[in-house]
Amino acid sequence: QVQLGESGGGSVQAGGSLRLSCAASGYTATRYYMGWFRQALGKQREGVALIDDDGGTSYADSVKGRFTISKDNAKNTLYLQMISLKPEDTAMYYCAGGYVRDSWYSADYPHWGQGTQVTVSS
């Protein structure tokens, strides 16, 4: 049974930084793709950053240059380093895992964490 668990959210002022972590366990597939999604109040969930099994990364235009996704395979942990945070980054952040490479569609990810809240004040 795959389990994902996020941590590291919090409240920061605009321009601040946070690092989110997602501990993963229970998956056995050699090709397992992960990403970060977020959902602001009243809005649809959107993809933020993806990482391939070979370390290739993709970012939403709104976070390029500010967010960095990475993965520590030895620790089975996914990270999202966020700098220069803006109020519009305020959302619940989720890590997701699945078997479709480079997908921005939530439906392609069968495994989700419980989410961690990020709040950025102006």
* pLDDT tens digit sequence for 68-83: 999 998 999 999 999 9
**Residue 43 scores a pLDDT above 80:** yes
Question: Tens of pLDDT along 8-38?
Answer: 999 999 999 999 999 998 877 678 899 999 9
What is residue 20's predicted lDDT score, i.e. its pLDDT? 98
* Bridging pattern class, strands 3-7 and 46-51: unpaired
Question: Greater confidence, 54 or 92?
Answer: 92
**Residue 62 scores a pLDDT above 80:** yes
The whole-number average pLDDT for the span 24-53 is 91
**Residue 108 scores a pLDDT above 90:** yes
